[in-house]
Amino acid sequence: MLTKDLSANSAGKFLVESLFRDFRFALRGLGRDRRLALAAIFALSLGIGAMTVMSALFTAPAFHIRE
């Protein structure tokens, strides 16, 4: 039982370290090529903005209170 808990903890730690390593690698790559970084930032901002507008449009009728 104790070994199972230790292995689960180490697997989670490995996953976090792997994700952190991948994130640093991606940031280094974006730092090298400014055009790619600008394109990625533009795409993310466009997607976040579009999802915000769609969410506001579709949830507004659900919360509209009729008297």
Q: What is the pLDDT along the chain (67 residues), one digit of tens a residue?
A: 445 555 555 667 788 889 999 989 988 888 888 898 899 899 999 999 999 999 988 887 777 766 6
pTM of the predicted model over 0.85: no
Cβ(54)–Cβ(47) under 8 Å? no
Distances (CA, A) of 30 to 23, 25, 39, 50, 57: 11, 9, 10, 24, 34
Query: How far does Cα 32 stand from its chain's mean position?
Result: 21
Residue 26 token pair = 């991606």
